[in-house]
Amino acid sequence: MAEKLLEVRNLYKYFPVKGVKGPGVQAVENVSLYIEKGETLGLVGESGCGKTTLGRTILRLHEPTAGEIVYSGETIYEREYPFDRQEVAQKDAEGKEFTRQVLVKKSVPKAKAVDMFPLRRKMQIIFQDPAASLDPRMTVGEIIGEALDIHKLWTSRAQRTERIKELLDRVGLNTEHANRFPHEFSGGQQQRVGIARALAVEPEFIVCDEPISALDVSIQSQVVNMLEDMQQELGLTYLFIAHDLSVVRHISSRIGVMYLGSLVELAESYELNKNPLHPYSQTLLSAVPVPDPEVSRSRQRIVLEGDIPSPMNPPTGCRFHTRCPYATERCKVEAPEFKEHEPNHWAACHLLDK
């Protein structure tokens, strides 16, 4: 087995909401995963499932609420879970009693965290909307150069200019583009600038947060191919976040499926596609339209009822039970454990226990 570059254990991220008691928005709930050196881990899920928050929390762009993050053997963050789960008896509208789980804050020791500055050189991110993530008042050269300045990666002006040119060349832009502003570029070119900026500090690990969903169909594949080439040449490790399952399936060696803040399944990309274990993954796969009229006419589709519940007040037990066609009484009370059901195939579902 290859070396684990990054490992996340029981990571939580809650966003407190003003005026609301309790933990607020429970965006990431008890996620554990690891990423091996040189691989691409895909992360899929619907909007609001916390995949972007997870990506950013791993980089500590958001401070985690609890959990442990280990990067190349070094623990960069560790904190105990600061809530107690308590059962509270309540009466519903008809006067029937039921118990509800509430989270009560408790005091835990201060988080152990390291200074992220040196790590920023190793861990980078590519954002979804290239137009919004590039400063409109800086030229492309300045944007890329800024990263070099911050980490003092040059000794002479000439070397700095040379490096910027090299980076532009690497992402398929012309060297004269260094003097232009972001608005002078098309969406695909802007995304290339975003990638060049991330590459400037020679990172090992890049979180690609929906890097192609803002691009036109005919441009998407250009960027996907470029990301793949760079991975081969520079030995990069990716966490590839997207909602488009077909793209994630193409680029990733393993895929994690998220639902409402929790990781529900994690498996090798081929395996997940052929043999999805979790009911949500099965639905998600069957919902993706396939560009082939015969296939889409013949296949059976699982259509889910209803919408995603609010992460402010997630369902108890398994978070998917409100929409799951196979939900049992047990699913309503007990959260399933995320465990290895088949070799290298992890899932969190009570149905798989038998």
Partner 1 sequence: MSENKHLLEVEDLHVSFFTPAGEVKAVGGISYTLDEDEVMGIVGESGSGKSQEAYAIMGLLQSPGKVIGGSITFEGEDVLAKSKAEMTAFRGSRAAMIFQNPMTSLNPVYTIGNQLIEALVTHDKSISKEDAAARAMEMLTMVGINNVEQRMKQYPRELSGGMRQRVMIAMGLICHPKLLIADEPTTALDVTIQAQILELMKGLQKKTHMGIIFITHNLGVVAEICDKVCVMYAGKMVEQGPVDDIFYSPAHPYTEGLLRSMPRVDADSHERLIPIEGTPVDMLNPPEGCPFAPRCEYCMKVCLQKMPPYVEVGEDHRSACWLRVQEALEKKEGKNDG
Shortest spacing between CB 268 and partner 1, in angstroms: 12
* Residue 104 or 287 with smaller CB distance to partner 1: 287
Q: Are 196 and 207 in contact (CB under 8 A)?
A: no
Bridge-based pairing state of the strands 237-241 and 40-44: parallel
- Cα distances (Å, whole numbers) of residue 162 to 138, 168, 184, 191, 284: 19, 10, 22, 21, 46
Cα dist. 87→103, 106, 202 in Å? 9, 15, 50
- Binding of residue 307 to partner 1 (CB under 8 A): yes
Fill in the amino acid letter for 91. Answer: K
188 is an interface residue for partner 1 by CB under 8 A: yes
CB of 248 to partner 1, least distance (A): 9
Nearer to partner 1, 114 or 304 (CB): 304
Identify the residue among 219, 312, 351, 352 touching partner 1 (CB under 8 A): 219
**Contact between 275 and partner 1 per CB under 8 A:** no
Distance CA 178, CA 176 (A): 5
Contacts of 178 (CB under 8 A, 6+ apart): 139, 140, 141, 144, 164, 165, 168
Minimum CB distance to partner 1 smaller for 58 or for 257:
257
Q: Which amino acid belongs to residue 166?
A: E
**Alpha-carbon torsion (227, 230, 232, 237), positive or negative:** negative
**Rounded least distance, CB 126 to partner 1, Å:** 18
Candidate list 4, 62, 243, 341; residue touching partner 1; CB under 8 A: 243
How many residues interact with partner 1 (rule CB under 8 A)?
Answer: 42
User: What is the Cα–Cα distance from 288 to 299, expressed in whole angstroms?
Assistant: 11
Q: Is position 327 an interface residue for partner 1 (rule: CB under 8 A)?
A: no
Give the one residue of 86, 99, 225, 313 binding partner 1; rule: CB under 8 A: 225
Applying CB under 8 A, the residues found at the interface with partner 1 are 46-47, 186, 188-189, 216-222, 224-225, 228, 243, 245-247, 249-251, 273, 283-296, 301, 303-304, 307-308
